[in-house]
Amino acid sequence: MVTKLSKAHRNTYSDEDANQCEECVAAASLPFHGIYNFSCLCCCARLVVSARPERNQQEAMFASIAKCEIAPKREEIIDYMKNNF
């Protein structure tokens, strides 16, 4: 299910991300929300960013994401991180 963000939450994400999954909405208001939806590009990027600055942990996150058939590709996640984090 995709939930439209309120105006208060839009400060966290760009306008193109106005439709985020439930986990993204929860993460916008709860900074330590640790649930990630691997079909959501933003969730995958949040997961990898959470492992910074540890490169090995980031690679482990990418490996976990890659196991999911409906997950975005590594390149998509990296592009999203460059533009949004």
Q: Tell me: pLDDT of 69 over 80.
A: yes
> Tell me, what's the pLDDT at 1?
39
User: Under DSSP, is residue 2 helix (H, G, I), strand (E, B) or coil?
Assistant: strand
CB of 47 within 8 A of CB of 65? yes
Q: What is the per-residue pLDDT for 63?
A: 98
Mean of the pLDDT values across residues 9-25? 62
* Mean pLDDT of all residues in 33-47: 95
Determine the 3-state secondary structure of 17 from DSSP: helix
Mean pLDDT of the chain: 83
Q: Is the pLDDT of residue 11 over 70?
A: no
Determine contact, residues 38/70, Cβ cutoff 8 Å.
yes
The residues, any chain, with a CB within 8 Å of residue 59's CB and separated by 6 or more, are none
- Model pTM score: 0.75
